[in-house]
Amino acid sequence: MACIAPFRALRYDPSRVNPSKAITQPYDKITPEMQERYYAASPHNIVRIILGKVAANEPEGKVYQRAADFFRTWRAEGIFRQDQEPSLYSYSQRFTLPGGTAPLERRGFIALGHIEDYSAGIIFRHEQTLAKPKADRLQLLRSTQAHFGQIFMLYSDSGEIESLLATEAAPDTEVVDEYEVLHQVWKISEPTTIAAVRRKMEDKKLIIADGHHRYETALAYRNECRMARERDFTPARWHAASTASRLLEQGEEAPYEWGMMTFVNINSPGLVILPTHRVVHGLASFSITNFLNQARDYFSAEELDGRVDAGGALSLLQQANGSGTRLVAVMRERDILLHTPHAGAELFEGLSKRQQALDIVQLHRVVLEHILGLSEESIRNQQNIRYVRDAAEAVQRVRDGLADVAFLMNPVGIGQLSDIAFQGEVLPQKSTDFYPKLLTGLAMYALT
């Protein structure tokens, strides 16, 4: 059911640019400090395309035109070099978890994936998306007509595809990122290997792990291009020497029908989801006593002795990981363990039992929306909420008086995620944090 294809990726020419100076984390993980560091690392760093600086008082959309200019110029100058033959790209990430010591490896492969409507039952999402990031990515895609970042897709098998792509050759690209993750890429061009992988993928259903906004952007762009083709199609117009016209004349699909994706086996031991903690700030009238009294209407609430540190909080959470809801609420003067939820069904209107059992849903529906009174819209717009991966940072923000309360929790499990996705349900934004991230700029897919 899943349709993949090899492609001739654009990649940095290592004789012109050191890839380690030019490749970045995904656009939505780049802080202002990281953006500055990337700008300083190389005049050809991909950040100038995917997340360029916006000058004061410049016209709206100028940043996207500047990105397109960089892309066009760097292609013309040979900074980006296009591979000669259609290929798949085997991708390995070797890492240790934050605070951990055991080495892990996550393997996958980069290819084109056919863009499908969710209703087709081939590609499944698990998180809600936001309009603003999609509008931003769509403007960039329209301007550059290229994909620079990966859409992270999960498939399921017992390791056959990884075995087909295994190689003893030295990697074509090797980069160590700022989190000490080793990224290695091998170009796989052998036609029989590519054909075997494509056959193995035909019966797969896919779950979007990371990149929901990028996927829905590619879907929106595809629909725009289809409408434009139907409206403006003339034989003379499509006879122009563009990639799209050549594909159409050959009876193949246009490039906008495909997106660049990294495919990872959901059964991989190196597939890790980290929790994303919630830090709530700027509440008009937050009372620790009132919060505790209200929380006891919906949970068993235990006050913790002393002020807990991040390690102690995570230890409490791990004791129940996978066997029941546990949340640690960190406040300036008291810390509370919330467990054994018993909120009424009226707070979960429209949600299945499987969703109601998730810590993330209990936190959003009961604690954030009902007890603290945050609206879904304010949460979407991050008006009073900050998402933090590092538990120590979340705790410290409260201790320093920069936030009212931090909620620490366990991650969503892989099994829970797949159950939700395959049932056509979605979780709140920032429900999952797959670690490590797929780097941007390792491979690029140009539509023209």
Tell me: the pLDDT tens digits for 286-305? 999 999 999 999 999 999 98
Domain 276-410 -> CATH class: alpha beta
User: Which string of DSSP letters, residue by residue, matches 248-289?
Assistant: HHTTPPPGGGEEEEEEEETT-TT-EEE--EEEE---SS--HH
Question: Helix 212-232 to helix 131-144 angle, to the nearest 10 degrees?
Answer: 50
Note whether 46 and 441 are within 8 A (CB).
yes
Residue-by-residue DSSP string for 337-373: EEES----GGGGTT--HHHHTSHHHIIIIIIIIIIS-
* Whether residue 99 has pLDDT greater than 90: no
**Structure confidence at residue 281 (pLDDT):** 96
* Short-list 296, 352, 358, CA closest to 329: 296
Residue 359's pLDDT is 95
**Residue 442 and residue 429: Cα distance in Å, rounded?**
26
Q: How confident is the model at residue 250, as a pLDDT?
A: 36
Instruction: Read off the amino acid at residue 172.
Output: D
> Six-digit token pair at 66?
């500047």
pLDDT at 241: 39
Residues 106-114 have a mean pLDDT of 98
Please state, rounded to an integer, the average pLDDT across all residues of the chain.
93
Q: How far is CA 232 from CA 183, 235, 236, 247, 255, in A?
A: 43, 10, 11, 17, 17
Q: Dump pLDDT digits (tens) for 414-425.
A: 999 999 999 999
Average pLDDT on 172-199 reads 98
At residue 233, the pLDDT reads 56
pLDDT band at 239 (very low <50, low <70, confident <90, very high): very low
Residue 249, SS3 per DSSP = helix
Say how far apart CA 355 and CA 341 lie, in whole Å.
13
For residue 297, which amino acid is it? Answer: D
Q: In whole angstroms, give the CA distance from residue 336 to residue 340.
A: 13
Q: Are strands 151-155 and 206-210 parallel, antiparallel or unpaired?
A: antiparallel
- pLDDT at residue 235 tops 70: no
Mean pLDDT of 55-78: 95
**Domain map of the chain by residue range?**
4-271+436-446, 276-410
Mean pLDDT of 134-158: 97
Residue 324 pLDDT class (50, 70, 90 cuts)? confident
In the chain, % of residues over pLDDT 70:
95
pLDDT value of position 130: 87
Tokens of 208: 């979007």
- B/e letters for 241-252, b = 16+ CB within 10 Å, e = fewer, are ebebeeebeeee
Q: Are 259 and 91 a contacting pair, CB within 8 Å?
A: no
> What pLDDT score does 234 carry?
55
Instruction: Specify the pLDDT at position 247.
Output: 41
